[in-house]
């Protein structure tokens, strides 16, 4: 039985605990040709991840270089728009469908920090 307004089915707390979210720093970002996606390199301290992020982005890409984001890191590599992604950056969509990264309030937090 659904207890909330989420768009997806509820998961167990045990499943949630299996997700590994880390703070990462965007070290490069570019729009993929003819695609509605971005290729982003994210430093999560112990490794650099290639992440493909699909969305309707209206932001200046240069403005997010060096910004810290929340990244799901323990996901099997998967393909989006013909590119392999090694993680998922958390996004928000506004009422117009525009996507934006979710930045931690404290940009001083260390990369590699675990979200819990």
pLDDT in tens, 63-90: 999 999 999 999 999 999 889 999 999 9
Flag whether 72 is in a domain: yes
Flag whether 47 is in a domain: yes
Whole-model pTM: value is 0.86
Which CATH number covers residue 90?
2.40.50.140
pLDDT at position 113: 94
Domain tally, the chain? 1
Q: Supply φ then ψ for residue 114, to 5 degrees.
A: -85, 135
Flag whether 48 is in a domain: yes
Flag whether 34 is in a domain: yes
Nearest to 57 by CA among 84, 26, 23, 24: 26
Contact present, 53 and 40 (Cβ < 8 Å): yes
Domain span at residue 67 reads 21-109
Flag whether 9 is in a domain: no
pLDDT in tens, 15-71: 999 999 999 999 999 999 877 899 999 999 999 999 999 988 888 889 999 999 999
């Amino acid at each position: 039985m659904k207890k909330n307004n989420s768009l997806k089915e509820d998961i167990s707390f045990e499943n949630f605990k299996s997700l590994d979210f880390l703070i990462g720093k965007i070290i490069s970002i570019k729009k993929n040709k003819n695609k509605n996606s971005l290729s982003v390199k994210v430093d999560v301290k112990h490794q650099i991840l290639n992440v493909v992020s699909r969305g309707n982005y209206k932001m200046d890409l240069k403005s997010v270089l060096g910004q810290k984001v929340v990244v799901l890191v323990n996901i099997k590599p998967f393909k989006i728009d013909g590119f392999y992604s090694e993680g998922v950056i958390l996004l928000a969509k506004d009422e117009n469908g525009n996507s934006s990264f979710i930045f931690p309030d404290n940009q001083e937090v260390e990369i590699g920090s675990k979200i819990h």
